[in-house]
Structure 1
Amino acid sequence: MEIQRKSDEKEVKKFLTGENFYAQQILGIQQIGDRFTFRVWAPHAQMIWLVGDFNEWQNTLDMEKDEESGIWEVTTSIPKVGDLYKFNVQRADGSQIMKLDPFATRFEKRPGTAAIVQIPTPKKWRDNLWRGRQRRSDHFKRPINIYEVHASSWKQNENGQPYTFKELKDTLLPYVQKMKYTHIEFMPLMEHPLGASWGYQLTGFFALSSYYGTPEEFQDFVEACHLANIGVIVDWVPGHFCSNEDTLPYYDGTPTFEYEDANRAKNYRWGVHNFDLGKPQVQSFLISSALYWIDTFHIDGIRVDAVSNMLYLDYDDGPWTPNHEGGNRNFEGYYFLQKLTSVLKQAHPNVLLIAEESTSHTQITGPIETGALGFDYKWNMGWMNDLLRFYQMDPIYRKHHFNLVTFSFMYLFNENYLLALSHDEVVHGKKSLMHKMWGDRYNQFAHLRNLYAFMYAHPGKKLLFMGSEWGQFLEWKYDHGLEWVDLNDSLNQHMQRYTTHLNQLYKEERSLWETDYSPSTIRWVADDPEQSILSFIRQGTRKKDFLVVVVNLVPTERLNFKVGVPYEGEYQEILNTEMVDFGGTWEKGNGVQSTIEEEFKDFTYQIKINVPALGILYFKPMNKTTRNSTVKGGKEL
């Protein structure tokens, strides 16, 4: 058999060389009039049959092999739209097994695993205004505040079934608008057979999980988000895939999608298989998947999961084989990731590319010409780990561990960091963010308000996992809805109101996001480990656009506390985390404070304020500010 059309033949050759980034237009299902062509890549299979409910799952539809490409094909009018199908593969050893279509765009609801015959209908999008604004803007200089969502467990119906995207459009979207977030990030939405994997063990790299409704409903959801000025980011998993025998592993009886080296093919930690990222056909498959989601669903960003697993041969718990230099670098993974980001940025320059990566051995963000991987943002795992350790600590010991709070300022500009308090921190016995906080219930809420205010003042874009915005006490459960009943409690209500206020303040104050990745973004005022208090300035692009931030990390009030400021004039308190409206005890804050001409470290002027126990204060200069402080430093970090 030869591939039928010359245009298809050209695209097949590109697939084989790792340069076909729209491979779903050749493989999987193609419609020709009232007939369908089914194609699958399985170079070492002895025979393949197309089977489904249309032929009672019998071997009556033989597929023919193109020997040069290893692609099998059959064109038939027997299957109809909506029918279920699989490929029955006679593998290299002669055994037969029914396998899914790697390029399928729809699957039946689990526990079923068959694909559905379907040809997607192009959507007439109405989000041109949003997409045009994104093309004209620089996201590094824009506010990015992400609400991370697991679609199955944000809310559930009374029968325990998750909301579909049709329902989420009417519930989740208005909630995110009300809470003043800028983006929603979904944990993987692609087809997966086991809810306990949270979507990270994929089987359908081109298919929205049938759990969440139809692809058209997800398209409508994204469009509605864009019309409401909210971006959508989706987690994507190119490093590994589900090990179920009827999915991708050893597809034709030999290593097909996985590495030939068994130590590299098997991921022992997660019970999955690793993609052979150096194989050209696998590169075509994965990059096509990423572009499919961006093109088909207009998503604004992709968060690539488990980048470390793709970069280091010894990242797993099992045995590993050193590279040709004797080291642990996965060169195939490194160069694949550079290729991935390069292709995606060429096609969509403004798409957000975010990496979840936990080491400091490889430059993740920045141009690939410099040796970096080409991502826009990297989750700051060090900041997260240090800070959560600190906030769980008894305050009497904090002065001895103050570097846990300040250390991140020493490496601020090593990468373009995104500060994430994600799902990984509220599961598997780690406790919820609320439950991690030190003290009784009141102090736990005070700590949580403090943590968020410090996070928003710290340079870097933001992400918070669902339920944390009101201080859910119970750990996240992937198979249950969030504890919305918490909001019957006044303290949870106040916490939710506080997060909404902080989100709105973040969007309004340009100095909190405009210069995140410039050394001018922050100027140190003072830190006092003995009192566990620190102060710094967040600076915008304009000279008088800045905030003075004062952070008290122990439950001791500081009266008549002195803080250096860069200009003479008046400073207005715009945030006090301990106000009654937020669940604190202060009915009246500091209000407007006038400067005193008295030296404070590197500053000529200062203000005197009262700092609440476990409180954080933001001060903003009023328009009356006049003379510049004779700053010896006011040092930039």
Structure 2
Amino acid sequence: MDLEGYAMYEQFGAIVDHKKKNVTFKLFLPDASKDPRQYEGGGLPNITRISVLGDFQTPKSKRWDENNAIELTPTDYTDPRDNVVKGVVYTAQVEDLPEGFYEYKYRVEFKNAEPRMVSDPCGRWDGASNQNSGFVIGGESAEVLPISSRSPYKDWRVYELMIDDFTAGYRDKNEAPIQAIVRKLDYLQDLGINAIEFMPWTPWSYSGEAADTFSWGYNPVQHFGVAHRYVNNPKEETSKLVYLKQLINECHARGIHVIMDAVFNHADAAPPNLGFPYYWLYEEPADSPYVGQFAQHDYFRDLDYGNRCTLDYVRDACLYWIDNFQIDGIRFDNTLGFYQADNRGHGLPKLLTELRAGLSERDQKNFALILEHSWDYDAIDVTNKVGATSCWYDPFRARSHEFLGCQSVDTPVIAASIMRMLDTSLGFDLGRTPTPYLENHDHGRIICAGGGRDNWRRTQPYMIALFTCAGAPMIYNGQEFGSDHDVPDEGADRIIPRPLDWSFVEHDTGASLHKIYRTLMRIREEHPALRSPNFAPSIWDEGQTQFNRQGLGFDQERALVVYRRWNDDDDVSEQFFVALNFSDAAQEVDFEVPHSGPWRDLLSDKTVTPVEGRIKTEIGASWGAIFYRKK
């Protein structure tokens, strides 16, 4: 075995030899009596016997034979990387299976509890019903090719994509959702994005039929598999994982980076015996070393990063997706749940340290490690401390929605806090960058905050700001044509299907928005200075409500903002002045520039010549200008 970059948990699950047409079931349970480092909190599972049963027992009829379940044999598991016995692995092999998709579960018997039917914690496929696990014999195969040139994250233009909602309006009945995405990749490439952040594709909890259960994917039960709903093609049952590999290959062929949204703070586990298998594999589930509150408890069953086995499991899941699917980044959901400020030896800091080591062993450059931490500026400090690439920069969204939604006669259109919002790189260490956005899956639509599609123009200066500030700007699927399915903060209507209405692209409002987003994406792509961290005026005094002497900053009375952006690259030396008018009337700006010009507005393609070293021009209502000049 080649031990470079070795991932222990990747060796478990239903391991298929397609040539020999057999499957080997391997289920691992850590044991602190054999290796005390495995866990400090937790106990033994008190298992007396494990067997496996499923429709593979009778391939023709696909009948589960409870009376002839196949017993797994327990042996000590020695990790070949350090030759340490880390626990027990239960193993059984089944030979000579016809090609097809098979579902299975483990029957686990205990000393002092009734037997349980439990799915596979390292299963690669989600079953069609009853939270079964699955495997495939035969069928099509594919190898994922890495992207030809992975760019630094600051150069990415990200599209957050909800697989179900994105494809619901156009996919065929005999087409898996992940297959259908491929048919829209040319559209996304034309839009100008070069990265897709897929909301979780890993299996989530359900009790009946997988096809009938909608989820955003933030209630995971397994971390090595793909949700059945996303890869189910009724006419072709043996391809499943191949669809995801083909999708990633198609993305990479177009220069589109792939980000996996991964939920490693918690797992769902609900009676009777449904959900996270490493919870139900213990006679007393509370003894599971994988589950237990580590930091901030928020959802479902927290994963316990105080125990080494939990960190190994999560790290190995990340390496599995990196090795086998050539993903280009991971977005870590809700990292508040596995971060303790004064604990670098456990949780998020330790996980990222080991992932960086694994990425280095694989010579993986520019791999993005992105945090969803807090909804405020505190996330920046955590990003620096743990060595992440980026964090979601939510103040950009929050302030924008606040300004759009709270206007009245007595309330300013914008407030001085907008300057801190726009200075997105402030506080980030060199080489780290924010992920700013105006909307995401978790919050309401920017078009709704602005008063609906009839008032879409009010959102324009915020759109221009998003693509002219530092970071990797992100838009949410449908944002580019004004999708107005809003999301409540809580309640039964929060996580429900919101299919994109693709006809909006052709409507006047949608077409106008789409054109502006395409233009801004192109400007962003063509001008490196807009991707630099340089911003002026930085550290704005929020007591100051008028422009500074250079005419830069913030004018509260007229709802204007003017800021400077530039880079220090000798090969491509660029300067920008961005003027934004948030009011509903045209306004004049007057600001100092360092060169006589002319300066070209990239939005109107018109030039402006400074007078006595100052640009004086009018900015239309709810609009802006991006004045550009090479040094």
Whole-Å separation in 2 of the counterparts to 1:121 and 1:295: 19
Query: Given the alignment, which residue of 278, 282, 289 partners 2:310?
Result: 282
Flag the 1:471–1:92 CA change in 2: closer, same or farther, 3 A.
farther
Once the 2 structures are TM-superposed, how far is the Cα of residue 540 of structure 1 from its aligned partner?
A: 2.1
Q: 2:365 aligns with which of 349, 354, 358?
A: 349
TM-score when scaled to structure 2? 0.79
Shift in alpha-carbon separation, 1:54–1:457, aligned structure 2, 3 A? closer
Secondary structure of the structure 2 residue equivalent to 1:365:
helix
Give the counterpart of 1:36 among 1, 10, 23.
23
Q: Distance in 2 between matches of 1:20 and 1:93?
A: 37
TM-align CA RMSD: 3.3
Distance 2:509 2:464 in 1: 17
* Correspondence for 1:593 among 601, 608, 612: 608
Which secondary structure state, in structure 2, belongs to the residue aligned with residue 421 of structure 1? coil
Where 1:451 maps in the other structure, the secondary structure is helix
2:204 is matched by which residue type in structure 1? H
**Aligned partner (choices 273, 282, 293) of residue 252 of structure 1:** 282
- Alignment of 1:103 onto 2:140: no
Tell me, yes or no, if structure 1 residue 568 matches structure 2 residue 596. yes
Equivalent in the alignment of 2:352: 338
Q: CA deviation at 1:611?
A: 1.1
Say which is worse superposed, 57-66 or 235-244, in terms of deviation: 57-66
SS at match of 2:382: coil
1:85 is aligned to 2:104 = yes
User: Hey, what's the Cα distance between the residues in 2 that align with 1:104 and 1:120?
Assistant: 18
Give yes or no for the alignment of 1:537 onto 2:537. Answer: no
Equivalent residue number for residue 114 of structure 1 = 133
1:472 aligned partner: 483
CA contact (8 A) 1:144 1:461 kept: yes
1:500/1:519 Cα in 2 relative to 1: closer, same or farther (>3 Å)? closer
- Secondary structure class of the residue paired with 1:83: strand
1:120 CA displacement: 9.4
SS of the equivalent of 2:225 reads strand
CA spacing shift, 1:92–1:411, aligned 2, 3 Å: farther
Shift of 1:570: 0.7
How many aligned positions are there?
A: 551
Q: Is structure 2 residue 459 aligned with structure 1 residue 459? A: no
Q: Secondary structure at the match of 2:397?
A: helix
- Are the aligned partners of 1:153 and 1:162 in contact in 2 as well (CA < 8 Å)? no
Hey, what does 2:194 align to over in structure 1? 182
CA distance in structure 1 between the partners assigned to 2:153 and 2:338 by the alignment? 27
Q: Report how far residue 387 of structure 1 moved.
A: 2.2
Identical positions, percent: 17
**Partner AA of 1:457 in structure 2:** T
Distance in 2 (CA, whole Å) between partners of 1:261 and 1:74 is 27
Are the equivalent residues in 1 in contact too, given 2:600–2:628 (CA < 8 A)?
Answer: yes
Q: Secondary structure at the match of 1:618?
A: strand
Letter of the 2:577 partner, please give it. Answer: V
Does structure 1 retain, via aligned residues, the 8 Å contact 2:259–2:327?
Answer: yes
**How do residues 86-235 of structure 1 correspond to structure 2 at under 5 angstroms?**
86-110=105-129, 113-118=132-137, 123-125=142-144, 127=145, 130-131=147-148, 133-134=149-150, 137-140=151-154, 143-156=155-168, 157=170, 163-170=176-183, 172-194=184-206, 195-213=213-231, 214-235=240-261
Partner of 2:335: 307
Please state if 1:449 is matched with 2:439: no
1:49 corresponding residue in structure 2: 51
Rate the CA distance shift 1:35–1:521 in 2: closer, same or farther, 3 A.
farther
Alignment partner of 1:558 is 2:587? yes
Classify 1:341/1:138 alpha carbon distance in 2 versus 1 (closer, same or farther; 3 Å): same
Secondary structure of the residue aligned to 2:269 is coil
Once residues 139 and 14 of structure 2 are traced to their aligned partners in structure 1, the CA distance between those partners, rounded to angstroms, is 12
Q: Which residue of 2 aligns with 1:549?
A: 578
How far has the Cα of 1:398 moved from its partner? 5.1
**Structure 2 residue aligned with 1:64:** 73
Aligned equivalents of 1:112, 1:303: Cα separation in 2 = 25
Distance 1:385 1:259 in 2: 38
Match status 1:295 vs 2:323: yes
The aligned counterpart of 1:24 is 10
Given that residues 564 and 575 in structure 2 are in contact (C-alpha distance below 8 angstroms), is that contact kept between their aligned partners in structure 1? yes
Amino acid in the other structure paired with 2:401: L
* Kept in 2: contact 1:390–1:398 (CA 8 A): no
Shift of the alpha carbon at 1:179? 0.8
Measured against aligned partners, the alpha-carbon deviations of 1:235-291 in whole angstroms (never above 9, x if no partner) come to 011111121323322322245895588655995x43x21112232222222111111
CA distance in 1, matches of 2:246, 2:357: 26
Shift of 1:425: 4.6
Determine if contact 1:148/1:184 at 8 Å carries over to the other structure: yes
Q: Work out the CA distance in 2 between the residues paired with 1:510 and 1:164.
A: 35
Other-structure match for 1:378: 391
Q: 2:436 aligns with which of 397, 416, 419?
A: 419
Unaligned residue ranges in structure 2 (runs of 5+): 30-43, 58-63, 77-84, 207-212, 232-239, 488-494, 540-549
Structure 1 counterpart of 2:280, which letter?
Y
1:460 aligns to what SS in structure 2? coil
CA distance in 1, matches of 2:602, 2:380: 39
Residue type of the partner of 2:225? A
More displaced, 518-527 or 487-496? 518-527
* Structure 1 unmatched runs, 5+: 1-6, 313-326, 367-371, 577-588, 598-604, 626-637
